[in-house]
Amino acid sequence: MVMYPLKFAFSGYSLIGLSLLILAGSTAVYMLFNSSKSRTAWLLIGFFSAVALGGMAMILTNAIIHYHRLFAPWQDFWILAGGVALAHLAYSLPQYERSLEERVVTGAVGFLAVLALVYCIVFDYRFLYQWTPGLSVNDAYYLLLPIGILLVVIVFLRRSILERR
């Protein structure tokens, strides 16, 4: 296996990742050190922490030359993991509602996050130990994030319409 030296080249996407890391990370830290920690606050801390980690993965993907593909799938995984917290949050406002629907929705988003995690681990194993020049993230993997986001958005819209009635 050819080992390349570790080189950095910050691009526009690296700066977007840095912005995500700063904004989401500082929000999570602020909420973490806030005195009141309700269920909703913990869910938001989880979401913003996951977005901050997604920003870190975006920085690593776009700033590290030769090894950037190692971190590429992790960007979507962290946002999906944050989506699990958002799905729980949808059922926590205005008060926590444990229902079959809540279990199904959070289970579905959680399943997508677990699929993404498994893919990330397998991809990184292949990258580190079975590397080939054509190795890249499968396009089908990038469908997991939009499906997860769509599911969470539908839940929030549905819940907001139900609350108005």
Helix ranges (DSSP H) in 9-99: 12-33, 39-63, 72-90
User: Phi-psi bin for 66: left (phi > 0), alpha (psi -120 to 50), beta?
Assistant: left
Nearest to 151 by CA among 117, 116, 119, 104: 104
Eight-state DSSP code of residue 67: T
Nearest Cα residue to 61 out of 52, 71, 53: 71
Rg of the chain (C-alpha set): 18
CA distances from 80 to 9, 60, 112, 127 (A): 27, 18, 7, 22
133, 68 contact by CB (below 8 A)? no
Instruction: Output the pLDDT for position 39.
Output: 87
What's the pTM?
0.84
Domain ranges, ordered by start, for the chain: 10-164
HEC readout, 95-139: CCCCCHHHHHHHHHHHHHHHHHHHHHHHHHHHHHHCCCCCCCCCH
Q: What tens digit of pLDDT does each residue of 131-159 get?
A: 777 788 899 999 999 999 999 999 988 88
The mean pLDDT of the chain is: 86
pLDDT tens digits, 53-105: 999 999 888 887 667 788 889 999 999 999 999 999 988 877 777 888 889 99
Does 11 score more than 60 pLDDT? Answer: yes
